[in-house]
Structure 1
């Protein structure tokens, strides 16, 4: 199959947060020595778990 070779990573997703929110995310992630993407993945996991609990 032609195309870009596999990187072994999940596909990139994007969104457009308000600049002030992104700045807060960057500041908090940096203060914990984390990548913004790792903090976002954790936040989404937390939100999904919360919504699943609400449905139960």
Structure 2
């Protein structure tokens, strides 16, 4: 039974990590877009949202 316990935990952690990664993806897209179109306001908003996600 001991082998069955860590598996669901691992799956939950992986799904959380995937969800966070998917949440950050549009953020990175915006950051890359800002290299070409310099809009610092959306950049700051994006970083703020990202820092909230990490905490």
Shorter-chain TM-score range = 0.3 to 0.5
TM-score, structure 1 normalization: 0.38
* TM-score, normalisation: structure 2: 0.39
Identify which of structures 1 and 2 has the higher relative contact order when contacts are C-alpha pairs closer than 8 Å and 6+ apart: 2
Query: Which structure carries more helix by proportion?
Result: 2
